[in-house]
Amino acid sequence: MKIIKIFLLFVIILTSCKKNDGVINFTFLQLNDVYEIAPIQGGAFGGMARVETVHKDLLKENKNTMLFMAGDFLNPSLIGTLKVGGERVKGKQMVEVMNAMNFDLVAFGNHEFDVSKDDLQKRLNESNFPWISANVKLKTKDTVSSFYKERKGQQQPVNKTFVKEFTDADGTKIKIGFISVCIPSTPKDHVEYGSMFAEAKASYADLKDRVDLVFGLTHVKLANDKKIAKLLPNLPLIMGGHEHENSINFVGNVQISKADANAKTVFVHRISYDKKTKKTLVTSELKEINIAIKEDEKVAAIVTKWQDVLNTKLKDIIKNPAEVVYTANVPLDGRDAAIRSRQTNLGSVITKAMSFGFNNNVDAALVNGGSIRIDDQLSDAITAVDIFRVLPYGGAVLKVDITGRLLKRVLQYGKLAKGTGAYLQRYNATVVDKAWYIKGKSLNEAKTYTVAFSDYLLKGFDIPFLSDKSAGVLKIYKPSEKELSADIRKVVIAYLKLETKKRAN
């Protein structure tokens, strides 16, 4: 009996002293470009509470799991436009949800700089997760320094790089580093953008001798990610954002991955590293976040709290915010890059609806691309809430009598404003070889036209020579509160309902 006990003890000691094999496995869960905390498309896809269930399952599978956001989450969102306690939300709901999910690392995206300097500082201070960026800096009149979190009067700078250490069950240890850069597409007085490529290269040089592996967490165009991959061929993986459709690309041995926006999908990267051979194996799974995934209760409670606030506000404007008003068999493109540079099908829907709001008794309709804030595509079931997400600031549609001479200047300015919020989405206004046509006929500068404008365009912000006081603006009809055109969102919803009825017949 004594011999058996000694033998068992010997086995236990041997088992507990399992030799370090030099191989370690870890997992990355990647999200990018998430603006909505709740499920989208009638509840079919997305939802941060569902993502958290996936996150917890991965942690059970492997404790060495990290959760990432590759930029763009504070803005735009419909909730972010609301006032709660006298203050605009401006991404507060997203930070609260992400704190509950215990994000491990986030990158700045260009939309983080849509919010004001003060609001961004509040969100940084509220966040419990680390941020990273090598090329965005806080600029004042006198200095350029790192963005920071303020805690108990102390400033904690956002670092250029981030290092994480993993240990597995047999004692294998590894240090991994992360670099990050952001596309300089949102110019602000308080932001200085350094070179994406020079800063990525410098960050890698700083990390490479201090860690076993370096990964990228970026928010730049795919073409820029590919340039970074060429500069840094030893990166096993770049987790990227900015584009809104899932993709995997390779430049040499560097994998570049981007998930779908609004957590329609996430990437699960299972990574194995052999310390002896220095070889890295990345196995990536694109996972759809859908109704089959149960919601995490803790995160769902936070989401519900914010959705209740949203629904309460929306019901003051529209009776049934969750109503499906249209089914888009072809996605309606409201992405910033598209809506601010070319005529899109979503732009056509909005401007046709503006004309519909006046019983099509106008010659044309115009809306500035910057009023369309969803930065995403709408597909399948589209709800009234989705239309509010597209046009969160609302505003009236105005019927304006305008001289052909001024209208031509407006159209030309909107065309030349390609890439900015002043670019015009149009209905019944086309250009061929620099010649403008209204309803298929050459624009006559001596004629008076009746045009449906979004009210923002008559404020002189996007187009400086166009306002309600412009000499070429002859008459403005502003609808009363009871009229459909008093709110551009109501007009679009009513128009889509009509199109749905036409389909049914």
3-class SS string, 31-72: ECCCCCCCCECCCCECCHHHHHHHHHHHHHHCCCEEEEECCC
Q: How confident is the model at residue 162 (pLDDT cuts 50, 70, 90)?
A: very high
pLDDT in tens, 167-207: 999 999 999 999 999 999 889 999 999 999 999 999 999 99
What's the maximum distance between 2 C-alpha atoms anywhere in the chain? 111
- How many angstroms separate the CA atoms of 483 and 491, rounded? 10
With beta carbons less than 8 A apart as the criterion, state whether 37 and 93 touch: yes
Task: Provide, rounded to the nearest whole percent, the portion of the chain with pLDDT above 70.
Answer: 96
Look at residue 18 in the predicted model and tell me its pLDDT: 57
* Same domain as 348, residue 266: no
Instruction: Please confirm whether the linkage preceding 187 is cis (ω < 30° from 0).
Output: no
- How many angstroms separate the CA atoms of 408 and 400, rounded? 14
pLDDT score of 164 more than 60: yes
For residue 384, tell me if it sits in a domain. yes
Among 288, 303, 332, identify where a domain stops. 288
Question: Which residues make Cβ contacts (< 8 Å) with residue 471, sequence separation at least 6?
Answer: 406
* Same domain as 357, residue 250: no
* Same domain as 257, residue 344: no
Q: How confident is the model at residue 11 (pLDDT cuts 50, 70, 90)?
A: very low
pLDDT score of 453 more than 50: yes
* Same domain as 469, residue 351: yes
Among 247, 267, 288, identify where a domain stops. 288
* Same domain as 419, residue 478: yes
pLDDT in tens, 106-130: 999 999 999 999 999 999 999 999 9
* Same domain as 214, residue 72: yes
pLDDT score of 4 more than 80: no
pTM attached to this predicted model: 0.86
* Same domain as 324, residue 270: no
pLDDT in tens, 388-436: 999 998 999 999 999 999 999 999 999 999 988 999 999 999 999 989 9
Look at residue 456 in the predicted model and tell me its pLDDT: 95
- How many angstroms separate the CA atoms of 426 and 438, rounded? 10
Q: How confident is the model at residue 15 (pLDDT cuts 50, 70, 90)?
A: very low
- Locate tokens 């969750």: which residue? 322
Look at residue 13 in the predicted model and tell me its pLDDT: 42
For residue 5, tell me if it sits in a domain. no
For residue 298, tell me if it sits in a domain. no
Tokens found for residue 334:
């409201």
pLDDT score of 10 more than 80: no
pLDDT in tens, 263-299: 999 999 999 999 999 999 999 999 999 999 999 999 9
- How many angstroms separate the CA atoms of 391 and 309, rounded? 18
- How many angstroms separate the CA atoms of 132 and 65, rounded? 18
CATH of the domain at 150: 3.60.21.10
Domain encompassing residue 490: 320-504
Question: CA 489, 495, 497, 500 torsion: positive or negative?
Answer: negative
Question: CA 194, 160, 130, 124 torsion: positive or negative?
Answer: negative
Look at residue 171 in the predicted model and tell me its pLDDT: 94
Q: How many domains does the chain have?
A: 2
Strand partners, 274: 23, 279
pLDDT in tens, 239-259: 999 998 999 999 999 999 999
For residue 306, tell me if it sits in a domain. no
* Same domain as 399, residue 459: yes
- How many angstroms separate the CA atoms of 202 and 501, rounded? 58
* Same domain as 345, residue 278: no
3-class secondary structure, 233: coil
Look at residue 149 in the predicted model and tell me its pLDDT: 97
Strand partners, 431: 436
- How many angstroms separate the CA atoms of 64 and 494, rounded? 50
- How many angstroms separate the CA atoms of 116 and 352, rounded? 33
Residue 65: count other Cβ atoms within 10 Å of its Cβ: 20
* Same domain as 220, residue 118: yes
- How many angstroms separate the CA atoms of 317 and 411, rounded? 32
pLDDT in tens, 345-386: 999 999 999 999 999 999 999 999 999 988 888 988 999 999
For residue 38, tell me if it sits in a domain. yes
Q: What residue spans of 329-397 are helical by DSSP H?
A: 336-339, 345-356, 384-390
Look at residue 424 in the predicted model and tell me its pLDDT: 98
CATH of the domain at 345: 3.90.780.10
With beta carbons less than 8 A apart as the criterion, state whether 479 and 379 touch: no
For residue 15, tell me if it sits in a domain. no
Among 265, 288, 311, identify where a domain stops. 288
pLDDT in tens, 37-65: 999 877 889 999 999 999 999 999 999 99
Tokens found for residue 6:
């000694």
Look at residue 41 in the predicted model and tell me its pLDDT: 79
For residue 305, tell me if it sits in a domain. no
- Locate tokens 């001479």: which residue? 405
Mean pLDDT over the full length of the chain: 94
Q: For residue 107, which of 204, 224, 218 has the smallest C-alpha distance?
A: 218
* Same domain as 197, residue 61: yes
* Same domain as 142, residue 77: yes
For residue 339, tell me if it sits in a domain. yes
